[in-house]
Amino acid sequence: MPDLSHLRADFPILHQQVGEHPLIYFDSAASSQKPRQVIDALVHYYERDNANVHRGLHELSNRSTANFENVRARVARFIGAAQAEEIIFTRGTTEGINLVAHAWTSQFLQKDDIVIVTGMEHHSNLVPWQLATQRCGAVLKHVPILDDGTLDLEELEHLLTNGPVKLLACVHISNSLGTVNPVRDICARASALGITTLVDGAQAVGHVPVNVQDIGADFYVFSGHKMCAPTGIGVLYGRLDLLSQLPPWHGGGEMIESVTLEQSTYKAAPARFEAGTPDIAGVIGLGAAIDYLEGVGLENIQAHGRELTAYAVAKLVELPGLRLLGPPPPADRASLAAFTLACAHTHDLVEFANTQGLALRGGHHCTQPLMKRFKAPGTSRASFYLYNTQAEVDRMIDILRQAISFFS
């Protein structure tokens, strides 16, 4: 496993106590911590460059605009997009999916058409498609999950080849199971059938190498706050030929070519989909996060996460009464482990862990259908990132043993 322990010094928030115990932050699947380099970039922006973008001719506006658009180009390179115009800044994954669910469906989805999602989607990649299909009378179908936490690919093939399927929305990495879906193969099969694809990459970008052209997705969405960037900033990647066919979603300043009292004409992508003043500081922070992650190396981050997770899973499954959800060892999984304890409700367990300085996530993780599939009211989830260590995992296991003793 690559030794990334020196990186902890870059994250000020990690160096604090929770009561009498040092903080162990195992909740990065919900939101990652931010390195000093990102925090400094935000401070520098507000102290030196703060001005609106695209709309001024003075020095501050020119600098802000140049930096803003430079980040767009860096995002494109970071995820392997063909050009910067395919990058749309959003508030996060949820907004990116909703943008497609409105703009794309208004052009291409009709009554009785079919949209396919999987049974492991976050609500943000399920509810928008429920709303979209309900609006136009289309049909929403679901790919089931097998007992080992992987998708039923045989049933997916059946769904893809039966009926007027127009779009497939699929998560890259499950936030509740850690399952890494074969999105490249899935997108290739769907594309061969003329089906548009959207991939939710919220748990993937910044954690594993991602190349959207290699994956072959028509749309790919992710959030900054799960990859060391600020909250409130995200990205929708869309193939430019597809984006050019979509109408605006929000109306306002900057996305127009001309406006009269009767009608308006609109700019091309990406401006067409970025109405109003954007989160400029968030974009600057996203650029700084990309610089930081590239400095560490995505391959190193992936290897660290894979090995740390395998280490944690091997110890977790030895605990009495613990049930692990997701692909069992030695299957590859993302940097998280979700589990239940027979002796304690997940909320009680997470509160107990907090008294020991351990930050876990407890609940349904915005995947209620998945929890119903596995007959779990919720799980406790430990999720890891580049700043976590084996020593912290050992401490978690000690705390869980204490919890088992306490609740039994």
- The answer, yes or no, to whether residue 1 has pLDDT greater than 80, is no
Q: Which two tokens stand for residue 277?
A: 């003043």
Predicted local confidence at residue 328, as pLDDT: 85
Amino acid at 212: V
Q: Report the distance separating Cα 339 and Cα 316, nearest Å.
A: 9
Amino acid at 229: A
Q: What percent of the chain has pLDDT over 90?
A: 96
Predicted local confidence at residue 379, as pLDDT: 98
Vertex 40 angle, CA 39 and 46, to 5°:
95
Average pLDDT value for residue range 195-215:
99
Residue closest to 393 by CA, chosen among 323, 310, 296, 293 = 310
Q: Give the pLDDT confidence of 120-179 residue by residue, as tens digits.
A: 999 999 999 999 999 999 999 999 999 999 999 999 999 999 999 999 999 999 999 999
Give 149's DSSP letter.
Answer: S
Of the residues 136, 170, 343, 366, which is catalytic? Answer: 366
Q: Report the distance separating Cα 169 and Cα 120, nearest Å.
A: 11
Q: What are phi and psi of 171, to 5 degrees?
A: -80, 140
User: How many other C-beta atoms are found inside a 10 Å radius of the C-beta of residue 233?
Assistant: 24
Distance of CA 378 to the CA centre of its chain: 20
| Known active-site residue 366 | yes
Given a contact cutoff of 8 angstroms between Cβ atoms, the answer to whether 137 and 111 are in contact is: yes
